[in-house]
Amino acid sequence: MLHSNVRTRILGVIPARFASSRFPGKALASVAGKPMVQHVYERASRSRYLHELLVATDDERIAEAARQFGGRVRMTRSDHASGTDRLAEIASSENAALYVNIQGDEPLIDPEAIDAAILAVLGDEAVSMGTLKKRIEDPTDIMNTNVVKVVTNLLGDAIYFSRCPIPYERDGRSGLPLFFRHIGLYVYRRDFLLQYPDLNVGPLEQAERLEQLRALENGYRIRVAPVEYESLGVDTPEDLERVNQLFAAAAEFSSSV
Domains and CATH numbers, the chain: 10-256 (3.90.550.10)
Under 8 Å between Cβ of 118 and 225: no
Query: pLDDT category, 67, cuts 50, 70, 90?
Result: very high
Closest alpha carbon to 14 in 30, 29, 27, 1: 27
Strand pairing category for 129-135 and 222-226:
parallel
Determine the Cα–Cα distance for residues 223 and 133; give it in Å rounded to an integer.
10
Q: Which residues are bridge partners to 30 per DSSP?
A: 35
Give whole-number Cα distances, 233 to 27, 51, 59, 159, 171, in Å: 11, 24, 21, 25, 34
Mean pLDDT for 113-135 is 95
Q: Tell me what pLDDT residue 1 has.
A: 63
pTM: 0.91
Residue 2 has pLDDT above 80, yes or no: no
Question: Residues with Cβ < 8 Å from 200, sequence gap 6 or more?
Answer: 214, 217, 218
Q: How far apart are the first and last CA of the chain?
A: 30
Burial class (CB in 10 A: 0-12, 13-18, 19+), 91: buried
Under 8 Å between Cβ of 226 and 165: no
Determine the Cα–Cα distance for residues 242 and 228; give it in Å rounded to an integer.
20
Residue 174 has pLDDT above 60, yes or no: no
Mean pLDDT for 20-33 is 87
